[in-house]
Structure 1
Amino acid sequence: MNRWRPRSLATQAIALQILVIAVIVLAGSALALLDARRDGDAAAREQVLGIATALADSPSTAAAIESGRATAVLQPVTEAVRRQTDIAFITIMAPDRTRFTHTDPEQIGAKYIGTVEPALRGETFSETYTGTLGPSIRAVAPVRDDAGRIVGLVSAGILQTSLADRWRSQVPVIVTVTVAALAISLAGVWLIRRRLLRQTHGLRPDELRVMYEHHDAILHSVSEGLLVLDRSGVALVNDEARRLLALPPGPVDRADLPDFLRSADPGVRDEVHVTADRVLVVNRSQVATAVPDSEVVTIRDRTELQGALGELNSLKVLTDTLRSQAHEAANKLHTVVTMVEMGRQEEAVRFATDELELTQRLVDRLSAAVGEPALVALLLGKTAQADERGIELTVTEDTRLPSDSDRVPLTGSEMVTVLGNLIDNAMDACDRDDPWVEVTVQMVDGTLILRVADSGPGMDLDTFARATQRGYSTKSDPDHHGLGLALVAQVVTRHHGTLTTDVTYGSVVTVTVPEAS
């Protein structure tokens, strides 16, 4: 038994379809035969009713009966009508059932066999009855004279054997249609079987089930976001992709995806994109399948790594600043020592005191104006870094933050991210003939304002918008991903703030963040 049992899903499906089609076609053929017989009986009943009514309503019929010459006058007429309509008999009789006409002339004058009572009451009716010629479908109608009295009856009938011959003549047509339908259906299911075999690779249902379970387990357990896109939209998305892209539960449309995934772009490798709260690395590959325009998208979360890189960059800036200050301190100490050796002690003391006061004054001003230590360290480090690069970096006198950190809507690390990236961009973009950068940090009416201006030409609105939406960079370095403004925009969006640019006294980028309610 197992040897003849269908193994592949395609074969099992087609075997079931063949069985269903055979049952449907055969049942349909049987119903068609029954319907043909029923329609034949209904048509015969309508036909004999029409003939009986027409003859009964004819004035010549009543006149012939009243004249006493009914047989001589009506027998030729009824036989002519019978032959033309191909029915079994037409009998005209007296109210007492005495036949005036009959198909068999020997039956004329005998009593009519059948029901006549409804006709004697003035009704026209039909019935199935077995008479002298055999079982028939017959109709009986009353014949009235001019005064409305019933003077006779007309009966017309068709033998059931004739009706059987009629519907049996349709059997060859029905059989031909049945065979043709079976042949076409079998050809169709054979083509479907071939298609299913290609699509299922001839696998059995249990093999498909195991494959699906393994496939589903992998999708749910893999640590990377995974999407499969095709021409119709999103064919597949795993749990990690939903989390990273903040997708809704249930089916996903292309409209639910972020902008960088809505259009087909296979071949992308390690492309960095910044969403409202994440830094993502995206890879896209074309799928060599029968489904056109399909691609697999993998997504890795680089948010924590980017934060670590930011901290590392801050440490690098601090290291470079300390190195620069150590080098500068060594030069100044060498100058002081030389002046002492030259016997100019007072001038050496004055020189060292002036340099110390200049540095300490900046530290004291920033420490007093800005209560966040991380931000003070950033501004001091960027000042030293700018001085080393020959750029005049100024922290304006308007810079002031409340000592109560709870009133500031951004944390210290977030302000370092925003200001650090804005200052780096400004130092890279400032005019080399007149390099300057100006920084302002202040709270105005509960709103945090971070403003960085530089002597550069600035960016137009379209370029600025692209730079804030994804890893866009104006630098020619292929290894530079241009995440600065995108990371700034990420922090600003998270706190429902605004990020704007304009060119007034220089290229000015302004961040405003309202106080958290």
Structure 2
Amino acid sequence: MWSRPRLPRPRTLAGQFLALQAVLLLLVVAVTSVVSFRQSDADFRDSRGARLRASAENLASTQPVQVGVGNGSQQRALTFYAQQRQDDTGATAVHLVGPGDSIVVSTDPTRVGDEIDLGPGVSDGRAWTGDLDDRGQRAIAAEVPIIGIQRGVDAGEVVGAVVVTERYPSLAERLRQTLPDLLSFLAVGLTLGLVGAWLLARLIKRRTRGLEPAEIADLADQREALLTSLREGVLAVNESGTVTLLSESARALLDLPPDSQGRLLADLDLPLRVLELLIGDDDVHDAVAVVGGRVLVLNSNRVVQNGRPAGTVTTLRDRTELLALQSQLSARESVTETLRAQTHEFANQLHTISGLLELEEYDEAGRLIGTLTRRRAAISDFVLERVEDPAVAAMLVAKTSLAAERRVELALSPDSRLPRLAPDLSADLGTVLGNLVDNAVDAAAGADAARVDVRLTSDGGDAVVQVADSGPGVPGERIDDIFERGFSTKPSDASGRGVGLALVQVVCERRGGSVSVHNDDGAVFTARLPMTEDHG
């Protein structure tokens, strides 16, 4: 059978740390060796240079050397003295240099007759110690001038020089000397590195839940792929309020800059209510917030690690399009309800007229028809005299019939004045007015003398909608967050509530307007929409 080839097993964390420790230790040993070799050169130069110079000075001051080098005699004696100096100092070679800077006597017979470059000042009577090239090998040399004392030579005249050389130890010799110490150092270092790598690996694996580096990398890749594929935004905040995780979709929904991750949440430009939801002490379920003209649904959960709070993880969903769709459905439902209410009203009126006709009360039937006609015309005329926009006027007339069926009186303020509007503004104003009226009718229904007052005006280039109801009003503690949280006076049901007021705020903000609420014998909502075309 064919078998799948086995992939090489990734190196463990401890193994990687041990390899790193070994590499670092070898580098340290290499650097230490270089420094040690340089230091040994300096020590060799200082210690051996002084001894070679003392030996050269002793030989240069010997009378047979001063006489023999000066007149070129006593070769055997000079060789004996040179050999004796070499034996005493352990030098590599001892040379006696005569006139012309050529070697006349040497412990190395092959060097006799060679010329040698004397160091600076030796020809003038000064001693010199330093490095020179001895047939391709580096050596330290001590050169001392020889002062001649034979007849015919002026006192103090330099007749030659004593040169004592010693070659530096070779690399192999130095390694033989230092290798035991280096091996001991390396063994101790590797042992300590092995123990340290093992302890460090245990510590890191304990902090990383026992995961190896390859597994951590896989988790990071999976997390990145997961966050990228999610349409919902994900935002994580630690206990200190720092953003530790921010998906691209969450950054776009909250309109945050690209460098937001790693910054304090309080330093970001977010609405106060959103900040409270993100860093609050309680879990948040399906909270509605308006950010930059978008309606977002937030769910936030506290994260507990080892029994201690570690921060929060919040998911965000964009509900703006859903709200727009729900607004359209609500508008269709409102039209349906209005038609149903009018059908019910007309059916009752027709039944009454039909009964009067059967009773042959023709005059009474005529008076009833005239009364109904005048009442309907009065309502339409009253609205049309004050509201020139036909779409808004038609909505008010329809809402009046719908409110009447629920025993709520819907009245337009006599001082209302609204001109004909542009089509897009008319549609937006209709959305705002319809939602506010529906909300007010729901709040006032069932109360004694239920009433909803509507006032439509234009003020300073703004279309102003004011809707007041005789209901219980908005709870004082929720006035500040009524729109952000999608507050509703309607009871919850399967269709979901609290979207109407949020949609009102979205429409107003998109046009550069605003909406507010206060209590005055009931809730009073005021919305302002600019009538210009420079809205966002």
TM over 0.5: same fold? yes
Q: Name which of 358, 361, 364 aligns with 2:381.
A: 364
The Cα of 1:451 is off from its aligned counterpart by 1.5
- Whether the 8 Å contact between 1:48 and 1:156 is mirrored in structure 2 is no
SS in 2 for 1:469: coil
What corresponds to 1:79 in structure 2? none
What corresponds to 2:77 in structure 1? none
What corresponds to 1:227 in structure 2? 234
The Cα of 1:466 is off from its aligned counterpart by 0.9
What corresponds to 1:9 in structure 2? 10
What corresponds to 1:304 in structure 2? 321
Distance 1:344 1:351 in 2: 11
- Whether the 8 Å contact between 2:479 and 2:518 is mirrored in structure 1 is no
Distance 1:495 1:154 in 2: 105
Distance 2:296 2:30 in 1: 66
The Cα of 1:309 is off from its aligned counterpart by 2.7
Distance 1:162 1:379 in 2: 109
Q: Name which of 431, 443, 451 aligns with 1:436.
A: 451
SS in 2 for 1:262: helix
SS in 1 for 2:464: strand
Pair 1:341–1:17, CA change in 2 (3 A): closer
Letter in structure 2 aligned against 1:471: G
What corresponds to 1:81 in structure 2? none
Q: Name which of 419, 436, 456 aligns with 2:433.
A: 419
What corresponds to 1:466 in structure 2? 481
The Cα of 1:36 is off from its aligned counterpart by 0.9
Q: Deviations over 1:360-392 (max 9, x none)?
A: 221233345435444334322332333334433
Q: Deviations over 1:114-170 (max 9, x none)?
A: 98753564576433699xxxx97466799xxxxxx999x999999957999999776
The Cα of 1:468 is off from its aligned counterpart by 1.9
The Cα of 1:513 is off from its aligned counterpart by 2.0
Q: Deviations over 1:238-281 (max 9, x none)?
A: 5x555544555677465377726633779655444443443344
Q: Name which of 488, 493, 496 aligns with 2:512.
A: 496
Letter in structure 2 aligned against 1:31: V
- Whether the 8 Å contact between 1:468 and 1:486 is mirrored in structure 2 is yes
Letter in structure 1 aligned against 2:183: V
* Aligned pairs (5 A) from 1:61-76: none
Pair 1:170–1:182, CA change in 2 (3 A): same
What corresponds to 1:25 in structure 2? 25
Distance 1:421 1:328 in 2: 23
Letter in structure 1 aligned against 2:413: T
Distance 2:292 2:484 in 1: 9
Letter in structure 2 aligned against 1:352: I
Letter in structure 2 aligned against 1:127: D
Pair 1:276–1:38, CA change in 2 (3 A): closer
Q: Name which of 386, 410, 418 aligns with 1:393.
A: 410
Q: CA RMSD in A?
A: 5.6
Letter in structure 2 aligned against 1:464: I
Q: Name which of 157, 180, 184 aligns with 2:188.
A: 180
* Aligned pairs (5 A) from 1:327-366: 327-339=344-356, 344-366=361-383
Query: Normalising by structure 2, what TM-score?
Result: 0.64
What corresponds to 1:447 in structure 2? 462
Percent identity among equivalent residues? 31
Unaligned runs of 5+ in 2: 62-88, 92-96, 100-115, 146-155
SS in 1 for 2:38: helix
Distance 1:327 1:439 in 2: 25
Distance 2:440 2:375 in 1: 25
Query: Normalising by structure 1, what TM-score?
Result: 0.66
Equivalent pairs counted in the alignment come to 463
The Cα of 1:491 is off from its aligned counterpart by 1.0
Unaligned runs of 5+ in 1: 55-60, 66-86, 90-94, 98-113, 143-148
Letter in structure 2 aligned against 1:9: P
